[in-house]
Structure 1
Amino acid sequence: MGFREIFGILPEATAQAPGRVNLLGEHTDYQEGYVLPSPLPYLTQVEAARAEGRVEAYSETLRELRARPLGSPPQGDFLDYLLGVVWALGEAGHPVEGARFYVRSDLPMGAGLSSSAALEVAALRALRALYRLPLSDLELALLAQRAEAEYVGVRCGLMDQMASSLGRVGQALFLDTRTLAYENLPLPPGTRVAVLDLGLKRRLAEGAYNERRQEAEEAARRLGVRALRDVADLCLVESLPSPLDRRARHIVGENLRVLRGVEALRRGDARAFGELMTQSHRSLSRDYEVSLPELDALVEEALQAGALGAKLTGAGFGGAVVALVPEGEWRAFKDRLEARLAGLKIL
């Protein structure tokens, strides 16, 4: 099955974009903080052609063909992301008359690996080529984030789309989400990033993510700052009522962990970086309360199997765990986890 079999014509443009894991900096991006994601060698590919007044798309993974007119409201399916990027282009002064898309991907959906951002960025790259739009990779990331936040309804920060559009596989993207300054940094030498997926699916648009974001905004308001990124002293968050104190403690501490993580990357200190990852997970579990017992247990299993550090990746409420593993111990690490955990996928 391919584009021609579905639509009866040949595609006019092809593009792709990677998913990502987040090594450090979870739930900091919507408080103008620091993040440290790393693109994965797993891609979403989009073939595209022009259409008139509508968006049509076939998902090879879902084996679904969907179509809606331009301007249609979101309906909670994968087509929302494609209609969303067309809408965002129009809002930015780049009207697109319509498009057909054929989507294939080897990224697990719902695993916290940013399959939605990969789809958005890939589709925007295809539309940029198709309509010869004068847009930079940074502008594509901003448009993709706007599509997801304002059209789809997931009030995400900018990290996922920036990692998919600007990151490099095998490196970490250090991003200041306030200034949009970014730098690609090498991962610690002699290590390997593993993604551990138990198939714990999640749906961010169902409210829990947006609730955490609202709590963070209220914490910043009560502390009298524009964003929690501006709180330098962890002691200040103790004045907040529960659960705002815990939410703010995670974000303020997580920003510090990113900055320390960047220092560890610069000096090639894999052990220090791994310890920061594990600290991040424990904060996400206890203070931000976005983990699950299964994710907590998987982190501990990864550490016992030889990982230098491990944490949930993505917004939580399901998804996958990312672990930093010494290259020389990779086979033993993988064999031990697969023997202990039925159904675990290791990427």
Structure 2
Amino acid sequence: MSHGKTFLEVYGHEPELTSKAPGRVNLLGEHTDYNGGYVLPTAIPQLTTVQVARGQGRHEVYSADLEEAYAFGDDGELDGFARYVGGCIRVLESEGFEVPPLRLWVASEVPMGAGLSSSAALEVAVLRAINDLLGLGLDGVRIAQLGQRAEIEHAGVQCGIMDQMASSLADAEHMLFLDTLTLERRVLPLPAGTEVLVVDSGVARSLAGSGYNERRAQCEEACALLGVKFLREVTDAAALEALPDLLKRRARHVVTENARVLEALSADAAEFGRLMNASHASLRDDYEVSVPPLDELVARLQERPEVYGARLTGAGFGGACVALVRAGTALEVGRSVLEGYEAAGHPGGRVVVPEPLRG
């Protein structure tokens, strides 16, 4: 929880309204969203909270977690944390909405740098708050699309639409199947008798500074050589054989990952887990976005009899792992696996979902 000042302490008056949005964990469909493919995320219980009121002069934003304040106008450079908040305001203005000077206060339970979409939760919560305050009439899909634009244009991350759609539309009790090309979506139950376990590896990652944009560029290069707009158009991995080896491996992950998502829609727990295990191997070997601590944590999870399957989640290069486990066992499994992981020399890990009881 944050230790910073309240909205009242920062601005001297109460907010006009409060908005919230969750982080997300992706069960299957990693690095497919910017390739026009299929994804299967679910929301996590942790929320980002934004309080807002009309202000004077410039926009002001305060982060209770960072204990930092920023002020910015309608032009000029956006810095640090303000890139996300200010980016949301500027994309709204670019769409023709008039946004008066605002005072915003932000606090988040979503872990940063863990691959659980803390940035998307922030963008969605900010846009929801402004939408409700000003009565802009934006629906959940439009809010997600504007959040994606803010991240691409102002935070410098060439992200797909999955994170913002999951934060805007998903809940923590179901999976959200999303076709990122058409935005067709379905809400589905988890496989019977299961629950989700999310464990942060303790290895922080920075999306913009990682190989994320590089992987996206490699996929675009593969598309150009194959004569397709999106790798989602390729359904047979054999069609990739003519590509240079590096591009072939990158594209093979995307093609096989799309197939895994579609197969998972009707899978039982055991089959769903097998698909998750295969996804991690593909991310590790073909897409090369894992790191040794993540591989070790995933392997320790996969060894447990209560675990159907486990994989890294998010862009990789650190961050969190997700596992599908037998219902009622997630917290105990997570704590036990972390004990061995820490004893092997990897400090800083923690169970994120389910949330441990506060005491």
Q: CA deviation digits over 1:98-126, x for unaligned, max 9?
A: 32111111111010000000000000010
Which SS does the other structure have where 1:175 is aligned? strand
Q: Which runs of 5+ in 2 are unaligned?
A: 343-347, 353-359
Change (3 A) 1:335 1:113: closer
Q: Is the 8 A contact 1:295 1:318 kept in 2?
A: yes
- Aligned counterpart in structure 2 of residue 165 of structure 1, from 165, 168, 179: 168
In structure 2, the partner of 1:345 is: 350
Which SS does the other structure have where 2:245 is aligned? coil
Q: Which runs of 5+ in 1 are unaligned?
A: none
1:344 counterpart letter in structure 2: G
Judge which range, 309-318 or 89-98, deviates more: 89-98
| TM-score, normalised by the number of residues in structure 2 | 0.92
In structure 2, the partner of 1:327 is: 327
Q: Give yes or no for the alignment of 1:23 onto 2:43.
A: no
Q: Is the 8 A contact 2:201 2:318 kept in 1?
A: no
In structure 2, the partner of 1:198 is: 201
In structure 2, the partner of 1:44 is: 48
Q: Give yes or no for the alignment of 1:293 onto 2:292.
A: yes
Q: Is the 8 A contact 1:70 1:98 kept in 2?
A: no
Q: Give yes or no for the alignment of 1:93 onto 2:96.
A: yes
Judge which range, 247-256 or 96-105, deviates more: 96-105
User: How does 1:139-218 map onto structure 2 within 5 Å?
Assistant: 139-206=142-209, 208-218=211-221
Judge which range, 327-336 or 112-121, deviates more: 327-336
Higher share in helix: 1
Q: Is the 8 A contact 1:237 1:249 kept in 2?
A: yes
In structure 2, the partner of 1:315 is: 315
| TM-score, normalised by the number of residues in structure 1 | 0.96
* Cα distance, 1:95 vs structure 2: 2.4
Which SS does the other structure have where 1:154 is aligned? coil
Whole-angstrom distance in 2 between the partners of 1:184 and 1:277: 19
* Cα distance, 1:335 vs structure 2: 4.1
Q: Give yes or no for the alignment of 1:248 onto 2:251.
A: yes
* Cα distance, 1:70 vs structure 2: 2.2
User: How does 1:227-306 map onto structure 2 within 5 Å?
Assistant: 227-264=230-267, 269-306=268-305
- Aligned counterpart in structure 2 of residue 69 of structure 1, from 44, 69, 73: 73
* Cα distance, 1:74 vs structure 2: 3.1
* Cα distance, 1:191 vs structure 2: 1.1
Change (3 A) 1:331 1:319: closer
Q: Is the 8 A contact 1:81 1:148 kept in 2?
A: yes
Q: Is the 8 A contact 1:53 1:70 kept in 2?
A: no
Q: CA deviation digits over 1:284-319, x for unaligned, max 9?
A: 110011110110111001111231111111111111
Runs of 4+ in 1 over 6 A off after TM superposition: none
In structure 1, the partner of 2:13 is: 9
Count of matched residue positions in the alignment of Structure 1 and Structure 2: 342
* Cα distance, 1:194 vs structure 2: 0.8
Q: Is the 8 A contact 1:299 1:312 kept in 2?
A: yes
Whole-angstrom distance in 2 between the partners of 1:297 and 1:7: 47
Whole-angstrom distance in 2 between the partners of 1:186 and 1:166: 15
* Cα distance, 1:338 vs structure 2: 3.3
* Cα distance, 1:8 vs structure 2: 1.1
Q: Is the 8 A contact 1:309 1:323 kept in 2?
A: yes
Change (3 A) 1:180 1:53: farther
* Cα distance, 1:332 vs structure 2: 4.5
2:275 counterpart letter in structure 1: L
Whole-angstrom distance in 1 between the partners of 2:32 and 2:57: 38
Judge which range, 56-65 or 231-240, deviates more: 56-65
Whole-angstrom distance in 2 between the partners of 1:115 and 1:181: 24
1:237 counterpart letter in structure 2: L
Q: Is the 8 A contact 1:271 1:308 kept in 2?
A: yes
User: How does 1:128-147 map onto structure 2 within 5 Å?
Assistant: 128-147=131-150
In structure 1, the partner of 2:336 is: 336
Q: CA deviation digits over 1:125-167, x for unaligned, max 9?
A: 1001111111111110000001001121101000000000011
Q: CA deviation digits over 1:241-278, x for unaligned, max 9?
A: 021000100001110011001121xxxx1111111111
Change (3 A) 1:40 1:335: closer
Whole-angstrom distance in 1 between the partners of 2:114 and 2:176: 20
